[in-house]
Amino acid sequence: MARIRREFEEELPRWIHRPPEVEEAWNAELQTLEGHSDWVRSVSFSPNSQILASGSTDRSIQLWNTSAGVLQQTLRGHSGSVYSIAFSPDGRFLASGSSDETIRLWEVVTGTLQQNLKGHTAPVRSVGFSPDGRILASGSMDKTLNLWDTTTGTLQRTLRGHLEAIRSVAFSPNGQLIASGSVDEGIRLWSTTTGVLQYTLEGHSDWVLSVAFSPNSQILASGSVDKTIRLWDTATGALQRSLMGHIDSVSSISFSPDGRLLTSGSSDETIRVWDTVTGAIEYTLEGHSSAVLSVTFAPNGQLLASGSTDKTVKLWDSALGGFQQAIKDYSDSIESIAFSPNGRLLASGSSDKTIKLWDTTTGAIQQTLEGHSGTVLSVTFSPNGQLLVSGSDDKTVRLWETETGVFNTLNGHSDSVLSVTFSSNGRFLCSGSDDNTVKLWETTTGGLQQTLTDHSYPVLSVAFSPNDRILASSSVDKTVRLWDTVTGVLQQTLRGHLGAVSCVAFSPDGLVLASSSVDKTVRLWNTAQGALVQTLKVDGMVTNLKFAQDVSYLCTNLGFLDIQSRFDNPTSNSSKPNVEISIRENQWVGLQGKKVLWLPTEFRPSCSAVEGNTLALGHPSGRVSFLVFCA
């Protein structure tokens, strides 16, 4: 990767002052193909490996160029989910099976429909061509396996015997056998010529979702809801080996062209590649954010493709799969990040139960803080930067010394702590929780000062006024509440949002409070009267909220929101920073209100923060990225 960056360094946009750190080595994930609007049920390579087809619950089939990842065609016609697709051996045709109970044959170059095969009385879950391309097999939830003449489209034979729906069918490469896997937990091997049942393979303890033959036709592999893969001798029907490692259903399996490897996709969100001789796991590929429904090796053996319920198709370099674990030294998803007051440090809270302190200049981890026994959901620095407070799924608030890592544990909440913040003078801190309460703590001793109990749903955000006399809290109950920090008395309840209120922030003079909600509005309130002053409509979820010093605009993760026109502030000159950084649609970095940098799926943030001209992104992978823009 370093060599690639050096090669193209002159092409970097001039508005990037410091690009994010990248891995020295490539991982196996080459491309993420986005285009489907629903689950990707099936993927299949053309015989020359140059085209990848994907079938989806969105009723469409998409054809992709595997070199560039460009969408070449979209085939529409099915009136239900596309469960299975397969290329003909010569690559001229593509077959698709659907929940609309039909099979369609498409001409690949033109995308025209050649045949519409009707005969099944329930959804078609699997299709596959014979090695010579003359026969198409289809397995259905009507418990039958149909064999079709691909030239005429006529039904040649129906094979019956399964007691439940057929989920997968496959021809042996020598053309002599057809395998079918079923919800009845059994696998049946049929003679292609006569249609006679040769063997019934029993051993799985749950639905059989996928079957695949080895290239030499001597082994049949099966994947099941019972989380195992089984390898069978096709000559005798004997079980040779059981492969265990997935922690959820095995949805799909595929042999490499040389038969040495077997890949499997699972509902556990992983893809595993196995040595077929030893049964050992060669490597595990992680990248999908949801169940993997389909996997296949490319005929050239260089690529792997996967389709998932996360609506994406991924292309993997099968030769680099072994590097996946070696270069991934991150842990679980980053849930919260916050800059220190001087901007030199960034704290990140993770689902791996740790907090990491990062040097924002170098991007290096300075310290890892361990102590929580649950996901760290919120982190905030004290005004002087010497302390850090964190809230966690473990129901505790922890107060850390940033220099030493020494911490004090504050117990009292009966559920997850969702939000934490310090008072302006640093003497107090506040926490909002899933237990519907707000708690005020004394920083030095860790003593509980107040418990505020008027919210009826979890408290998502808390903020002190600049003079520390008022505390604002926002909740899933759609309200913002203002409390007297000395007495704990509820002063105001601000109503108007139509959904959960995710974030609150006071203006520097304390006269205005801003609140953002899942209803895609930011509302501005007069704190003295509790009156709604302004409603700003936004095109996304506002998670970061901060007033400009002159109260002329709001800094948010979506960019600047102008508010000066609604406030009488003659001393303001509305001097905005030179750099306006935003996150758009969770897949674009915005600069000066324009989308300038597209984020690949693995770099899309779970949380973000901006300090000056630096953007920090926390990722589901556990990585934190820094992008510094020219001021």
Tell me whether residue 568 is in a domain.
no
pLDDT for 27:
64
Indicate whether 488 and 461 sit together in one domain.
yes
For the purposes of burial, counting CB atoms within 10 Å of the CB of 412, is it exposed (0-12), middle (13-18) or buried (19 or more)? middle
Q: Of 38-52, 489-503, 576-590, which gets the smallest average pLDDT?
A: 576-590
CA 393 to chain centre: 21
pLDDT for 561:
87
Strand order in the sheet with 312-317: 29-34, 312-317, 303-308, 292-297
- Looking up residue 497, the CATH number of its domain turns out to be 2.130.10.10
Q: Of 2-16, 173-187, 208-222, 557-571, which gets the smallest average pLDDT?
A: 2-16
Secondary structure (3-state) at 486: coil
Local confidence band at 631 (pLDDT 50, 70, 90 cut-offs): low
DSSP 8-state symbol, 197: E
What are the pLDDT digits (tens) for 124-159? Answer: 999 999 999 999 999 999 999 999 999 999 999 999
Q: Of 6-10, 206-210, 569-573, which gets the smallest average pLDDT?
A: 569-573
Local confidence band at 558 (pLDDT 50, 70, 90 cut-offs): confident
pLDDT for 603:
79
- Is the pLDDT assigned to residue 51 strictly greater than 50? yes
Q: What angle do CA 86, 89, 95 make, to 5 degrees?
A: 25
pLDDT for 409:
96
Choose the final residue of a domain: 327, 343, 377.
327
**Residue 10 φ then ψ, to 5°:** -70, -20
pLDDT for 257:
96
How long a stretch of residues is the chain? 631
**Residue 150 φ then ψ, to 5°:** -75, -20
Secondary structure (3-state) at 171: strand
Mean pLDDT value across residues 505-515: 95
Range of the domain at 248: 28-327
Tell me whether residue 570 is in a domain.
no
CA 437 to chain centre: 31
pLDDT for 329:
41
pLDDT for 559:
83
Residue 337 zone, left/alpha/beta (φ > 0; ψ -120 to 50; rest): beta
Q: Of 59-68, 458-467, 566-575, 580-589, which gets the smallest average pLDDT?
A: 566-575
Indicate whether 87 and 232 sit together in one domain.
yes
Closest by CA position to 373, among listed 389, 356, 351: 351
Tell me whether residue 127 is in a domain.
yes
Element (H, E) at 430: strand 428-433
Q: What angle do CA 185, 190, 196 make, to 5 degrees?
A: 120
Tell me whether residue 470 is in a domain.
yes
In sequence order, the 6+-apart residues with CB closer than 8 A to the CB of 180 are 139, 145, 159, 162, 166, 168, 169, 187, 188, 190, 211
Q: Of 10-24, 208-222, 332-346, which gets the smallest average pLDDT?
A: 10-24
pLDDT for 72:
95
Amino acid at 300: N
Closest by CA position to 230, among listed 306, 267, 179: 179
Token reading at 509: 């003079």
Indicate whether 300 and 338 sit together in one domain.
no
pLDDT for 568:
47
Give the separation between CA 42 and CA 308, rounded to whole angstroms: 9
Q: Are 62 and 71 in contact (CB under 8 A)?
A: yes
Local confidence band at 6 (pLDDT 50, 70, 90 cut-offs): low
Q: Are 462 and 455 in contact (CB under 8 A)?
A: no
- Is the pLDDT assigned to residue 326 strictly greater than 50? no
CA dist 588 → 105, 598, 601, 610 (Å) = 38, 5, 11, 15
Indicate whether 321 and 339 sit together in one domain.
no
Strand order in the sheet with 281-286: 250-255, 261-266, 270-275, 281-286
Indicate whether 270 and 301 sit together in one domain.
yes
Give the separation between CA 434 and CA 432, rounded to whole angstroms: 7
Structurally, the chain folds into a number of domains equal to: 3
Tell me whether residue 377 is in a domain.
yes
Mean pLDDT value across residues 513-540: 94
pLDDT > 70 fraction of the chain, expressed in percent and rounded: 91
DSSP 8-state symbol, 556: E
What are the DSSP E strand ranges found in 214-317?
219-224, 228-233, 239-244, 250-255, 261-266, 270-275, 281-286, 292-297, 303-308, 312-317
pLDDT for 362:
84
Residue 184: HSE in the Cβ half-sphere, 13 Å Cα cutoff: 19
Mean pLDDT value across residues 455-479: 97
pLDDT for 295:
97
Higher pLDDT, 568 or 438: 438
Indicate whether 203 and 246 sit together in one domain.
yes
First-to-last alpha carbon distance for the chain, in angstroms, is 27
DSSP notation for 49-118: SSEEEEEETTSEEEEEETTT--EEEEEE--SS-EEEEEE-TTSSEEEEEETTSEEEEEETTT--EEEEEE
Indicate whether 378 and 347 sit together in one domain.
yes
Q: Are 140 and 147 in contact (CB under 8 A)?
A: no
| Reported pTM | 0.68
Give the separation between CA 125 and CA 76, rounded to whole angstroms: 18
Average per-residue pLDDT for the chain? 91
Indicate whether 428 and 529 sit together in one domain.
yes
pLDDT for 578:
66
Tell me whether residue 505 is in a domain.
yes
What are the pLDDT digits (tens) for 576-628? Answer: 666 788 888 888 888 888 888 888 777 788 898 888 888 888 888 788 888 88
Tell me whether residue 322 is in a domain.
yes
Choose the final residue of a domain: 558, 589, 617.
558
- Is the pLDDT assigned to residue 570 strictly greater than 80? no
Indicate whether 208 and 248 sit together in one domain.
yes
Secondary structure (3-state) at 212: strand
Closest by CA position to 83, among listed 129, 52, 127: 127
Indicate whether 194 and 232 sit together in one domain.
yes
**Residue 483 φ then ψ, to 5°:** -120, 145
Give the separation between CA 606 and CA 622, rounded to whole angstroms: 10
Tell me whether residue 242 is in a domain.
yes
DSSP 8-state symbol, 19: P
pLDDT for 67:
87
Indicate whether 105 and 173 sit together in one domain.
yes
pLDDT for 557:
86
Q: Of 103-112, 195-204, 416-425, 542-551, which gets the smallest average pLDDT?
A: 542-551
Q: Of 192-196, 355-359, 420-424, 606-610, which gets the smallest average pLDDT?
A: 606-610
For tokens 């770099």, the residue is: 603
Token reading at 322: 């072994």
What are the DSSP E strand ranges found in 351-427?
354-359, 365-370, 376-381, 387-392, 397-401, 407-410, 417-422
Mean pLDDT value across residues 293-311: 95
CB neighbourhood size of 14 (10 A):
6
pLDDT for 17:
59
Indicate whether 296 and 149 sit together in one domain.
yes
Choose the final residue of a domain: 493, 523, 558.
558
Closest by CA position to 536, among listed 527, 528, 547: 547
What are the pLDDT digits (tens) for 218-237? Answer: 999 999 999 999 999 999 99
